[in-house]
Amino acid sequence: MATTMHTSKTIPGPRTLPLLGWRASIFKLYSDPFRYLSHLYATYGPVVTLSKGDASYICAFGPELNFALLSNPTLFEVSAGPMEKLAQDTALVRVGGHSLQMMRREKHKQQRRLMQPAFHKQQVAHLLTDMVTLTSLMLDSWQERTEIQLYREMELLTRDIVVKTLFGLDDKAEIEHLGSLLERMVSSLMLALIAPVNLPGTPYARMQHMAEELETALQAMIARKRSQGETTDLLSVLIHAHDEDGATLSDLELVSHAFTLFTAGHATTTDALTWALFLLSQHPQVTADLLDEVDGVLHGEAPTIEQLQQLPLLDYVIKESLRLLPPGGIGQRKAMAPCELEGYELAEGTTIIYSEFLTHRLSELYEQPDRFLPQRWATLKRTAYEYLPFSAGQHRCIGSEFALLEEKITLAMLIQRYRLEGISNARIDLGLEMRPKHGMTMRIFPQDRQFKRVPVRGNIRDLVVLAE
Residue 118 near residue 241, CB atoms below 8 Å: yes
Q: CA torsion, points 128, 131, 136, 141, in degrees to nearest 10? A: 180
Q: CA torsion, points 269, 271, 276, 278, in degrees to nearest 10? A: 150
Q: Per the annotation, does 339 bind a ligand?
A: no
Q: What angle do CA 358, 369, 379 make, to 5 degrees?
A: 115
Q: What is the rounded distance in angstroms from the CA atom of residue 285 to the CA atom of residue 308?
A: 21
Amino acid at 385: Y
Residue 24 near residue 40, CB atoms below 8 Å: no
Max CA distance (Å), the chain: 67
Q: What is the rounded distance in angstroms from the CA atom of residue 360 to the CA atom of residue 34?
A: 12
Residue 131 near residue 117, CB atoms below 8 Å: no
Q: What is the rounded distance in angstroms from the CA atom of residue 402 to the CA atom of residue 339?
A: 37
Q: CA torsion, points 66, 434, 101, 55, in degrees to nearest 10? A: 50
Residue 365 near residue 382, CB atoms below 8 Å: yes
Burial 98-136 (b: 16+ CB within 10 A, else e): bbbbbbbeeebeebbebbeebbeeebbeebbebbbebbe
Q: Would you call 367 helix, strand, or coil by DSSP?
A: coil
Binding site membership for heme: which residues?
397
Binding site membership: which residues?
397
